[in-house]
Structure 1
């Protein structure tokens, strides 16, 4: 295998900072791991345009390339030729842009986050040009595709044609293997990591003082987050005359706004519910200081960054046994765990912590110790180093095992 310094990696993602989102944060972290290991790292950021963008008028395809902390970031946009989304060939257009990007840089490894757009296009590109592809599954992509007749076959093909597949929980890995058994021999599961956070340096939270015991959650709230069950649980606590306030640091995704507005109204929490709206990351981090209890009531959720932040902040945590949440947290030792979709069990766990500041402190300290020992950045970087080394060695071995009569043609490249 050639030295990492001579190898070029291209990572495909739907978002990358300054875009807001957990996947973007993870890609940013992993890209820096690879850069520090000596790889030349490129980031291709793209997605099929939503219908709202089509109304903005026609445009040519665009590729804006910038340098960010030693990374080459390529933001791709497909052309808009019609206001009718059904007449657009956006994935096809993006694919040709990716082909042009590869011809220019001749990447040695392609690495995609999310299956349906980035993963599928990168796997197709890798198969066409003979470049190994790593696909990284973060959670919601598998859960969306497994119930979609339109995406199911694409998901299976992408998984089966990957050189390696990574997952952020063992549950996700097992679930994907139900549809693509071949990945059992070419996949691994390991958790996200988190850099140490200096909470004393993030400033003051942009929220006025709150009443009683503050229960909170952080993120972009949507279907998988289970927030309706948290609303129900807090309603039960208030009905029992417990002095609590629910703080949601973030906002509900626009496409589900009507549903969540109805849920909030039906919860009847009144001024005991505070929703901050989307905040810059520093301000969101500052809000952890307000929380007595952090809740992550997800139905499914990969390995959420907010969980790791709450552990780093030393908050008492109530979580569900879903994906990495239930794998990382140890019930009664560093958190309280409840089944997903169970408002009654959630209310009972919260009520127990409201009544016991000592238990809150004990669980918070144990969570902070675990995240520093088990989810340190060097551990995740070591996983990525081993995966890349293995994939590149396999590629080199396959290239050197070609029959003597075979002619190995170079990849097309611009000179």
Structure 2
């Protein structure tokens, strides 16, 4: 029997840097192991813009990457600032051509704001089933854009199934589109074990003094870094510390963050590495005394899972999957989002108690190895696909039972 063909649409996919891309890659491999033929279509509206004034025709380039067919769509650039609707028209054209060529069994969109509408529209027009996977900002931030609010509701209502990486996200979606309550599920991301011993100690570690508090990301508004700056500035008056930001601020917010850094008063106690590869980021984690993730909202961030695997003592905020994962207090401390004093108290508590840091670090590693494993996530995705695809399309797959 012919394998069911899955078409996943996403804003990024390795070697692109980003948590969504890493998640899509991981899920694509799960589907491959489950017996599907997997296609990933990559497109992003930012790619319609060019800085050198050049022009180009629309294109779709296909490669074969680790068992997955990867199709990267680029829209045409025919004018200085292409209209967003022109971008989506080009994307739809090539997505439709790919479906005509491969005859997909199911569409699966990641990040509703850009991929969800064009993917769901094509699926509905072809009487095919479609999964939309909500990652975080699509419901925490973009839902407040009045231009796209109605579109988001339409996507939710017209999905065959909707997945979420936290119960908070699921509850917000149900409030917006109550009909999805019976066709949705929430479960965490997973992470493969990492051998941190294989990484070379970053040279910058030798420059850091005192308690090293670290955070990793492409830092932007939702990450709550201004509250981390405030908290570290407060406790630095009594504790020798270094705040290490592993990554960099996104370019469009750079002026704001330069102002925040100038005003925080940390001076040479603050170090920013700049953008690094994932391997370079991971190499820093075992050398942190405390890992801080002060997000205002954040889905289920891979950065948290990586820090847990490294055995870091973690301070996180009571938002999304961060709150769910750290809720029982065995894997880290939870604080209120946007509360510098609350964050300072938690950092102070860990900075002055090495035994607690060690205890929470061990608890974090144990929890991620037991509860956030690829085996568990694989079973969750198999359950979703069992709900969405007809039994006749799945009967050849191994490892799945039907009732």
Alignment TM class, shorter chain as reference: over 0.9
1:280 and 2:282 equivalent?
no
Q: 2:181 aligns with which of 172, 180, 184?
A: 184
1:43 and 2:40 equivalent?
yes
Q: Residue 54 of structure 1 contacts residue 84 of structure 1 at CA under 8 Å; is this kept in 2? A: no
Correspondence for 2:401:
none
Q: 2:297 aligns with which of 290, 295, 300?
A: 300
Q: Alignment length, in residue pairs?
A: 393
Distance 2:51 2:119 in 1: 24
Correspondence for 2:234:
236
1:118 and 2:124 equivalent?
no
Distance 1:163 1:145 in 2: 22
Q: Secondary structure of 1:16's partner?
A: coil
Q: Secondary structure of 1:327's partner?
A: helix
Q: Residue 188 of structure 2 contacts residue 300 of structure 2 at CA under 8 Å; is this kept in 1? A: yes
* Aligned-residue offset at 1:82: 1.2
Distance 2:13 2:203 in 1: 25
Distance 2:72 2:315 in 1: 38
Taking the TM superposition and a 5 Å limit, the aligned residue runs for 1:67-82 are 67-82=64-79
Correspondence for 1:220:
218
Q: Secondary structure of 2:73's partner?
A: strand
Q: Secondary structure of 2:63's partner?
A: strand
Distance 1:38 1:264 in 2: 50
Distance 2:251 2:218 in 1: 10
* Aligned-residue offset at 1:395: 9.4
Correspondence for 1:326:
323
Q: Residue 206 of structure 1 contacts residue 287 of structure 1 at CA under 8 Å; is this kept in 2? A: no
Taking the TM superposition and a 5 Å limit, the aligned residue runs for 1:15-164 are 15-49=12-46, 52-53=49-50, 55-86=52-83, 89-164=86-161
* Aligned-residue offset at 1:290: 1.8
Correspondence for 2:399:
none
* Aligned-residue offset at 1:93: 1.4
Correspondence for 1:403:
none
Q: 1:354 aligns with which of 347, 351, 354?
A: 351
* Aligned-residue offset at 1:48: 1.6
Q: Mind listing any 5+ residue stretches in structure 1 that lack a counterpart?
A: 397-415
* Aligned-residue offset at 1:191: 0.1
Correspondence for 2:202:
205
> Against the structure 1 CA distance between its residues 84 and 312, is the aligned structure 2 distance closer, same or farther, given a 3 Å change threshold?
closer
* Aligned-residue offset at 1:49: 3.5
> Against the structure 1 CA distance between its residues 10 and 310, is the aligned structure 2 distance closer, same or farther, given a 3 Å change threshold?
same
* Aligned-residue offset at 1:52: 4.2
* Aligned-residue offset at 1:51: 6.6
Q: Secondary structure of 2:204's partner?
A: coil
Name the stretch that deviates more: 51-60 or 208-217. 51-60
Deviations 1:153-189 (A, max 9, x none): 0000001000000000000000111111111000000
Deviations 1:271-329 (A, max 9, x none): 10000011111110000022000000000000000100111111100000000000011
Distance 2:203 2:120 in 1: 43
Distance 2:3 2:236 in 1: 61
* Aligned-residue offset at 1:106: 0.4
Correspondence for 1:345:
342
Name the stretch that deviates more: 139-148 or 297-306. 139-148
Deviations 1:196-248 (A, max 9, x none): 00000122224241100000101110000000000000000112x21010001
CA RMSD of aligned residues (A): 1.6
* Aligned-residue offset at 1:90: 1.0
Q: Secondary structure of 1:53's partner?
A: coil
Distance 1:339 1:317 in 2: 14
TM-score normalized by the length of structure 2: 0.95
* Aligned-residue offset at 1:85: 2.9
Q: Residue 132 of structure 1 contacts residue 395 of structure 1 at CA under 8 Å; is this kept in 2? A: no
Q: Residue 212 of structure 2 contacts residue 242 of structure 2 at CA under 8 Å; is this kept in 1? A: yes
Q: Residue 206 of structure 1 contacts residue 283 of structure 1 at CA under 8 Å; is this kept in 2? A: no
Q: Secondary structure of 1:214's partner?
A: strand
